[in-house]
Amino acid sequence: MSYLHYKAINWNEIEDHLDHSTWEKLTSLFWLDTRIPVTNEKQQWEALPENERAVFMKALAGLASIATFQSEKGYLVIKEEKHTQQEAAIYNNIQFIESVHAKAYNTILIGFNEPTEVDDVLTWADNNAELQYKLDRILDIYKTGSMLQKRAANLILEGVLTYSGLFAPLLYWTQKRFTNVSEIIQLVLANESLHCFYISHKFQLGFSELPQQEQAYLRDWTFDLLIDLVNNELDYIEQIYHGTDWLEEVKDFVRQQADKTLISLGFDPLYPEISASNPHIDSINTILTKATHHEAGNQSSISFQVDKDDVMTEDDYDF
């Protein structure tokens, strides 16, 4: 994006009409964690077994790290790359809402724990090798990758690597526990799924313009990146969920999200389907279907199930 002067954005000049509807949805989904009384659920927190509290805290700390990273480095996805002013405005919005997410994860941790406990778990995240590896890997691509490589990396981070941390709060949601925390998670999911929907749309537009040889190279590159980061994520999951009955379920769940992300990019899935029905994963997937849904009509509008007036009811817990 280069101008002889500073150019005011003109929303009447829109190359991709999905930009306008995405902006409308993003702004309609604005929320703040301070409006949700998380501390009302401290008794539930204190009643959790110690190992589940440890899992929940580490999961939230990891999510806070990813959201903080995206709020500080997400702009690199479009920096120095060809993009419209409307697309830049949307990425600015996405980057801001990541700060809201990071604050929300902190609000949950602070609401349930003593300051020293919060400090300790965030320090654990700051020094966790697997967590830092995936962020370093993504940052390197943000800095040196092509426009489409950056978008693919962004999608893998948001659409796959966040879900290991989301598994625990999503599981409690299916069990009708921590309803205020669940409301925060619902709002996060509404944001994140819209982000992924928009970025995958932009990826597919760019991918379709590549020569066949370049498409094949980018497809192989994306698979290699995904495999590397998912393998790293499986080690990360071991550190969070060891000592619970959920360990293998979380791994299967993350592989499922990896396949969904590949499909959203227009690629074939990589991992085999889970052969047996899993009640926890099935219930969580039902929640994800209810909480987020996007459809583009002729690339001019987005149909979206969740809006800012949507509140959780008992029906959200019926599966």
Give the pLDDT confidence of 246-293 residue by residue, as tens digits. Answer: 999 999 999 999 999 999 999 999 997 765 578 889 999 998 988 765
Q: Comparing C-alpha atoms, which of 168, 184, 194, 145 is closest to residue 25?
A: 194
Asked if residue 56 belongs to a domain, the reply is yes
Q: Which of 238, 235, 271, 232 is nearest to 255 (CA)?
A: 271
Handedness of CA 169, 173, 175, 176 (dihedral sign): positive
Residue 297: pLDDT band (50, 70, 90) is very low
Report yes or no on 10 lying in a domain: no
Q: Which amino acid is residue 33, in one-letter code? A: D
**Residue 77: inside a domain, yes or no?**
yes
| 149 is a domain residue | yes
Distant-in-sequence, close-in-space partners of 6: CB < 8 Å, separation ≥ 6: none
Q: Residue 310 sits in which domain range? A: 17-317
**If you average pLDDT over each of 31-35, 124-128, 293-297, which comes out highest?**
124-128
In a domain, 266, yes or no: yes
| Angle CA 43–45–47, to nearest 5 | 70
Asked if the structure places residue 3 within a domain, the reply is no
* Residue 222 located in a structural domain: yes
Q: Which two tokens stand for residue 223?
A: 């698979």
Q: 36-81 pLDDT, tens per residue?
A: 999 999 999 999 999 999 999 999 999 999 999 999 998 888 776 7
Q: What integer best gives the mean pLDDT of the chain?
A: 89
pTM given for the model: 0.89
Decide if pLDDT at 304 tops 50.
no
pLDDT at position 2: 57
Q: What is the mean pLDDT of residues 147-167?
A: 96
The per-residue pLDDT for 290 is: 80
Number of structural domains (the chain) is 1
| Average pLDDT score over residue span 122-139 | 98
Asked if residue 284 belongs to a domain, the reply is: yes
Query: What's the rounded Cα separation, in Å, for the pair 256 and 163?
Result: 10
For residues 88 and 100, the model is more confident at 100
Comparing CA positions, the residue from 112, 101, 117, 131 lying closest to residue 32 is: 101
> What is the pLDDT at residue 275?
57
Q: Is the pLDDT of residue 295 over 70?
A: no
Question: Residue 86's domain is classified under what CATH number?
Answer: 1.10.620.20
User: pLDDT (tens digit, 9 = 90+) per residue, 70-95?
Assistant: 999 988 887 767 678 899 899 999 99
Two structure tokens written together for 69: 């990273």
- For 165, residues 6+ apart whose C-beta sits below 8 A from its C-beta are 59, 60, 62, 63, 66, 240
